[in-house]
Amino acid sequence: MTFRNLETADLAGRRALVRVDFNVPMEDGRITDDTRLVSALPTIRFLSLAGARVVLLAHFDRPKGRRTPEMSLKPVVEPLAALLGAPVAFADDCIGPDAAAVIEALPAGGVCLLENLRFHAGEEDNEAAFVEALAANGDLFVNDAFSAAHRAHASTEGLAKRLPAYPGLAMRRELDALDAALGNPKRPVLGIVGGSKVSTKLDLLNNLVAKLDRLAIGGGMANTFLAAQGIDVGASLCEHDLGETAREIMASAKTAGCELLLPVDVVTAEEFKAGAPHRIQGLDAIGPADRILDAGPETSRRLLAAMDASATLIWNGPLGVFELSPFDAATVAAATHAAALAKAGKIVAVAGGGDTVAALNHAGVVDDMTFVSTAGGAFLEWMEGKTLPGVAALEV
């Protein structure tokens, strides 16, 4: 993929429309996690210091094309200004005279935030007229919201085709990390896919077995693969109706030369709760009332050895019910080991997905991984090998 380079662009005095992800968690009108604001700061500061007039475009929640006061972006203005250490103007609309007046009043290097894009149905419908109305307020377009890149919306795809378009610094960092993990990785490449259900990750599994050297499957979805091999998984979460699908994936992996790493021992309990009485069991000893809630120590040992033998790791999904102690042991062990290898420069470790980020935070290792994506759906679709409209539209 080839993109325009924002760092060599002529920016002084130009109106830069910057798509950011400010769909932040809020309670009672206050932001409870400013991670997404912080991630946008490098691009905003770069543009501002270059003398551009920085016009921020974002959505919040799902107003479905209607002006919904409780879904206004206005509560973002003060926290963003505090992080920037500079004033941030606000426009009550993202198109039309209100937006134009605020942008016109910006000095070189000034920053403004426009109201929720999704107050207009044209945003999600990618309507040509809405794209034109947005484009009228800018001289160039910068997409810094990888997390919205899997949607062909006016502010992700439409604008990129209408104005000179650039990936922002955060977007470029994400794309570089993903390319290093799966596009052009150092080999051998190990993948970890966990979570509860195979049915939600069929496209992901089918894509990965064709590209990886090894793939470890954990969480509830591993139970479906075990059952597909005739192993009794007791009362564990399991999609028994997907047994044939699991066998097809195993066959595809074998054909592609991808080694599948499935649990060889498990941690079981009869109750689904923290601190429940539990046992480490071999796969031939699972009783009818047993629930598999984590991978066992031998499974963990084999996974850590696979990490040691790999140059690249890509991870999506926990290995057990990490929210409930002591069933977080395998996930924490894997996360700690991966982070230590990454910090020592021995592996490129890229992870993403909501549960994965939560698990890495639980283990306290997010900062030591090579890259952790918070993009959610976009990260998953990229791992599935799908084209992301918001990224494809930036290519030159």
- 74 given a catalytic annotation: no
Encode burial over 329-363: b for 16+ CB neighbours within 10 A, e otherwise: bbbbbbbbbbbebbeeeebbbbbbbebbbebbebb
Amino acid of residue 222: A
- 197 given a catalytic annotation: yes
Amino acid of residue 145: A
Query: Which residue, 336, 322, 388, is CA-closest to 364?
Result: 336
Q: Which of 36, 201, 214, 291 is catalytic?
A: 36
Hey, is 263 helix, strand or coil? Answer: coil
Q: Contact, 293 vs 278, CB < 8 A?
A: yes
Hey, is 31 helix, strand or coil? Answer: strand
Distance from the Cα of residue 336 to its chain's centroid? 20
- 346 given a catalytic annotation: no
> For residue 194, what are its two tokens?
């966990």
Hey, is 234 helix, strand or coil? Answer: coil
What are the Cα distances from residue 203, in Å, to 30, 194, 383? 37, 14, 9
- HSE of 153, CA atoms in CB hemisphere, 13 A: 23
Give φ, ψ of 35 to 5 degrees. Answer: -55, -40
- 273 given a catalytic annotation: no
Report the largest interatomic distance among the alpha carbons of the chain, rounded to a whole angstrom: 72
Q: Which of 354, 376, 385, 386 is catalytic?
A: 354
Q: 18: which strand partners?
A: 56, 142
Q: Which of 197, 279, 302, 386 is catalytic?
A: 197
Q: Which helix (H) or strand (E) holds 335?
A: helix 329-343
Which residues make Cβ contacts (< 8 Å) with residue 27, sequence separation at least 6?
Answer: none
Q: Which of 51, 65, 243, 377 is catalytic?
A: 377
Return d(Cα 379, Cα 182) in angstroms, integer: 12
Residues marked as catalytic: 36, 197, 354, 377
